[in-house]
Structure formats: structure tokens, C-alpha cells
Amino acid sequence: MAMALNDSVSANAMTLDSLRDSLIRQEDTIIFALIERARFPTNSPAYDHSYAKFPGYSGSLVQFVVRETEALLAKAGKFTNPEEHPFSPNDLPPSEAPPYNFTKVLHPAAASININKSIWNMYFDKLLALFTTPGDDGNYASTAASDLVCLQALSRRIHYGKFVAEVKFRESPREYEPAIRSQDRDALMKLLTVESVEELVKKRVAKKAMVFGQEVTLDDNNAKKGKCKVDPSVVSRLYAEWVMPLTKVVQVEYLLRRLD
Amino acid sequence: MAMALNDSVSANAMTLDSLRDSLIRQEDTIIFALIERARFPTNSPAYDHSYAKFPGYSGSLVQFVVRETEALLAKAGKFTNPEEHPFSPNDLPPSEAPPYNFTKVLHPAAASININKSIWNMYFDKLLALFTTPGDDGNYASTAASDLVCLQALSRRIHYGKFVAEVKFRESPREYEPAIRSQDRDALMKLLTVESVEELVKKRVAKKAMVFGQEVTLDDNNAKKGKCKVDPSVVSRLYAEWVMPLTKVVQVEYLLRRLD
């Protein structure tokens, strides 16, 4: 229960049920983040490498905002928590905060798994155009900060696959060991896929997008008539095409190294 | 309509109705931010001046995160938009982004009004304990980043009072001029207070906290049974005791300078 409230992993309480509670809570976080990004139009100058020149940087405004934000949060200790994964892992400064004793749950090989490059490409090349409206209101810095909130929420959710894989492995090691020993990705992927659960998740996130994206008014007759702030079918597709498949990629990568 | 969608002010479309749409949309932003901060327990080390020492800083971890984040967003142009107000206005670096032509709506005196110190004190000294659970999960950097999202949302909403005051003044200058000329704060405060509207706002934000903070499940019988993620009565109180009164302080300060 503490887990669902605090949205953080405790080794003692870690079961498939408690992980499931956290994954469900993270759906809300992702949908809130998308709704908040959708306040702004596309704002393409934020992604244009030739738009702004920041001293010492050659990329876009959003790359500048992500790298600088991650650098300062790294100093404040963010990435000492194994649940967090940076988008700009190279040249991150060390933490200046006192070390915190995060519970060690994962196999040490987990630290080498970071698929944020795939998440970054998915977000900017595919997802963004599906839930923002074309236009330009000049709020590029706020837009980039909103993008980072979306990216971090998606990254955290997808890399939670490490914890899910660990708990599944602990609960029935014999089921996974043969495929791990033979390094059989396809067999692992098959073991990790439960289509009926994936269908439920797709439906639930669409419903959440409808509930959280509605215009709430005191007059109940007026409620729910307006357009949702983010199209529920886009959120469903985000989970079906990207979040769940990428989570399984993380799980497979983790399990392949689980007996190292 | 573009305003409600994009949550930004356009001088041409600016009417009390369009401002109202933006204020209503900003309620959602504030409530999402509070719900997301409530994922973490209080995490008091983030606010303890003796907990961490950052080179060149003497304050708390949250002060470090706010100052550094605002500095990088200032470089990316965030505070060139008159809707945005920094919490650490001293020593902010200049924007490195090309200038954007934000529509000029406000009297130039608006630039001197920034009540973020009051908002900061209200948030950390009063509000935070009302909607977070005691505890410590080590996620101080993420907690501080969540605090900043709350602070920015509250600041933006409260300083929108400048635009509200400007439109009210333009719609009926003769109503406001005598009190402005005599610099009569009390008379201005009385002109700006509509208790029936304030009651509606308090009810609406409580309802939104209930809708956005519920646990959404596919089984409708199960829905809404759980505790809200943020107590609706706290959100109602936030608006009644702080957001609406502070917005009126901004309006009064703005009107007092409107004829300068």
C-alpha cells in the first residue's frame, strides 16, 4: 500500500501486485503529462537545430533544456535511484547530495540497460504530432520543459520492466532459466506476453484519458460534451504500439543478463 | 477558442470570457501538479538547509533545483513571456533564444509586480503539509522538481491577475479611475470581489480534485471508492485562502500603477 501511495519500490513489499499498483499509478502520471504538453501547440522551433544557438551546444532548444535539466537534477541525486534513467547519460555530473540507501532489488547488470534513445525517437518522431495541434505560440522553453516531463514519465514506466522481470524471475525461475541460458529472445518475449492483460491496459488508459481530459463543470449536463484534451485513442495506441512493447524489450534485456 | 486550447493570451481575442477560459484551464494544471507532487512523501531533507551542500549555494536542495532550473529556462527564453514570473529573479541569465514578439497587452508597470515570495512562503509553510503524507523515500531531486511545477502553475495563475485587471479596466475605466487616483486599495479590492463567483470556483476546483484524483478502473462499481489522491477540500481551501486573495493582490497592485 505504501508503494501505491509513494510510487516507489521497496524490496520487502515488492510483489507482482505492488508493481502492478505502481504501473497503474504511473498511467495517471503519463496522461497528466500529455495533457499538460497539449496546452501548447507543436512549437516546432523548439526542435529546430538552427533556431537557437546556446554557448557550448550544437543541438535544438529541447536538447539544451533536457541536458541542462538532467545535469542539475543529477547533482541533486536524481539518478542515484535505480528507477531513474537519464536521456543524456554522457557527461552527467556526479551527485553532490549525501548518498541515500535505495533498496537493492535488481541484478547489477540492470545498470547497463537504458533504452531512452528509442523512447526519445518514438516521442519526437511519432507521438508528438498525434496529440499536439499545429501552431506556434512562442513558449518554447515551457514546451521543452513539458516534453521532458513526458519523456521522464514514459522512461520511468518503460524501465520499470526491470523490476517486473526481476519479480517474475524470482517467482518462477525455472520457467525462465532455459530461455536465459540459451539467450533466446523470442522465447522470453513469448513468456512475458499476456494478451488479455494488454487489452485491459489499452482500455483502461483510454478511459483515464477521457476522465482526466474532460472539461469538468459544476453543471453535470454540460460535462463531458467537450473534446478531450488528449484523444483517448492516441493514449491507447501509445501503450499498444510503444509503452508495452518497449517495456518487454527492457524485460528481455534484463532477463538475458539475469544469470551473468 | 485558440486561447482556451493554447492557454496563452492574444491581445485581439482578450476578453473577460477568454481570460476566464484560461483561468479554468489553469485549475486543471494546478490540480495535476498537486496530485503529482503527492506521489512522493514530504521528503523533508529537500527543504533542510543543512542536508546538502552545493558548490556556490548556501540554501536547501529545493532552492538549488529551483534556481538552476529557472536559470536554464531563462537562457531558453521562458521569462521573456510576460505571463511567466521567476522565483529567483536575481542573477537570472539573459535569454539566448531569438526574441519572440509576445503581444503587448499590459501597462509597462506590470513588469515590476512579482509576488512569488508570498507564493513560495504559502506553498512551503502552509500548503505542502496539507496534501503530502509524512515520510522519506529519498527522491529529493524529483520531489523538488515536482514542487517547482506546482509553484510555477500557482504563480502563473495568480499573476494572471494582471491580465484580468487590465481587461476589467479597459471594459469600464470610469469605475476604477477614482480609486486609482486616490490610491485606495480597499476600494479597489471591493470592486474586484464577487463573492458568488468565488463560491463557484471553490466548488469547481473541489470537484476537479475529485475527478482527477480518483482511481479510474474499468469496473465502474469499483470506481470512486478509493481515497482521492489530493483531498478536494484542501484544493478548495487553497483557492479560497490563497489563490483568489493573492490574485486580487496582483490586480490591486497592477491597477494602482495603471495610470502612471
How far apart (Å, rounded) are the C-alpha atoms in residues A151 and A135?
21
C-alpha closest to that of B43 among A99, A14, A6? A6
Residue A78 lies in a domain: yes
Say how many CA atoms lie within 13 Å of A155 toward its Cβ.
24
Confidence at residue A1, expressed as pLDDT on a 0 to 100 scale = 29
Helix ranges restricted to H, A103-184: 116-122, 128-131, 140-159, 161-171, 173-181
Residue B118 lies in a domain: yes
**pLDDT digits (tens), chain B, 260 positions:** 233 334 455 555 688 899 999 999 999 999 999 999 999 999 999 999 999 889 888 899 999 999 999 999 999 999 999 999 999 999 899 999 999 999 899 999 999 999 999 999 999 999 999 999 999 999 999 999 999 999 999 999 999 999 999 999 999 999 999 999 999 999 999 999 999 999 999 999 999 999 999 999 998 765 556 689 999 999 999 999 999 999 999 999 999 999 99
In sequence order, the 6+-apart residues with CB closer than 8 A to the CB of A205 are A27, A30, A31, A232, A235, A236, A238, A239
Confidence at residue A221, expressed as pLDDT on a 0 to 100 scale = 67
- Considering only residues 116 to 175 of chain A, which have any Cβ-Cβ distance to chain B shorter than 8 Å? 133, 135, 137-142, 144-145, 149
Confidence at residue A222, expressed as pLDDT on a 0 to 100 scale = 59
Residue B9 lies in a domain: no
| Torsion angle of C-alpha atoms A53, A59, A63, A65, degrees rounded to 10 | -20
- Considering only residues 63 to 122 of chain A, which have any Cβ-Cβ distance to chain B shorter than 8 Å? 64-65, 68-69, 72-73, 75-78, 81, 84, 96-98, 100-102
Looking at every residue in chain A, the average pLDDT score rounds to: 93
Q: How many CB pairs under 8 A join A and B?
A: 164
Q: What is the mean pLDDT of residues A9-37?
A: 88
Residue A7 lies in a domain: no
Q: Using the beta-carbon criterion (under 8 Å), do A216 and B203 form an inter-chain contact? A: no
Confidence at residue B224, expressed as pLDDT on a 0 to 100 scale = 54
User: Residue A109 above 90 pLDDT?
Assistant: yes
How far apart (Å, rounded) are the C-alpha atoms in residues B90 and B109?
18
How far apart (Å, rounded) are the C-alpha atoms in residues B5 and B7?
6
pTM: 0.95
Q: Using the beta-carbon criterion (under 8 Å), do B81 and A139 form an inter-chain contact? A: yes
| Contact yes or no for A81/B138 (Cβ under 8 A) | yes
How far apart (Å, rounded) are the C-alpha atoms in residues A25 and A7?
7
Residue A13 grid coordinates: 513489499
Task: Write the pLDDT tens digit of every residue in A208-258.
Answer: 999 999 999 998 765 556 689 999 999 999 999 999 999 999 999 999 999
Residue A5 lies in a domain: no
Nearest to A64 among B39, B76, B133 (CB): B76
| Contact yes or no for A211/B214 (Cβ under 8 A) | yes
Confidence at residue A171, expressed as pLDDT on a 0 to 100 scale = 93
Q: Using the beta-carbon criterion (under 8 Å), do B76 and A61 form an inter-chain contact? A: yes
- Considering only residues 7 to 36 of chain B, which have any Cβ-Cβ distance to chain A shorter than 8 Å? 7-8, 24-25, 28-29, 32, 35-36
Q: Using the beta-carbon criterion (under 8 Å), do B7 and A39 form an inter-chain contact? A: yes
ipTM comes to 0.94
Per 3-state DSSP, chain B is made up of helix, strand and coil in percentages (nearest 5) of 60, 0, 40
Residue B10 lies in a domain: no
- Considering only residues 174 to 233 of chain A, which have any Cβ-Cβ distance to chain B shorter than 8 Å? 200, 203-204, 207-208, 211-212, 214-218, 229
| Contact yes or no for A112/A17 (Cβ under 8 A) | no
Q: Using the beta-carbon criterion (under 8 Å), do B96 and A54 form an inter-chain contact? A: yes
| Contact yes or no for B244/B154 (Cβ under 8 A) | no
User: Residue A4 above 50 pLDDT?
Assistant: no
Residue B2 lies in a domain: no
- B230 to chain A: closest CA residue: A5
Confidence at residue A2, expressed as pLDDT on a 0 to 100 scale = 32
Confidence at residue A219, expressed as pLDDT on a 0 to 100 scale = 87
Q: Using the beta-carbon criterion (under 8 Å), do B54 and A141 form an inter-chain contact? A: no
Q: What is the CATH number of the domain that holds B184?
A: 1.10.590.10
- For residue A167, CA distances in Å to A106, A131, A194, A255 come to 9, 34, 16, 11
Nearest to B69 among A25, A61, A72 (CB): A72
The widest CA-to-CA distance across chain B, in whole angstroms, is 61
Q: How many domains does chain A have?
A: 1
In sequence order, the 6+-apart residues with CB closer than 8 A to the CB of A64 are A52, A54, A57, A144, B72, B75, B76
Which range of residues forms the domain containing residue B239?
A: 15-256
Task: Write the pLDDT tens digit of every residue in A213-223.
Answer: 999 999 876 55
Residue A40 lies in a domain: yes
Number of H helices, E strands in chain A: 12, 0
C-alpha closest to that of B97 among B79, B120, B118? B79
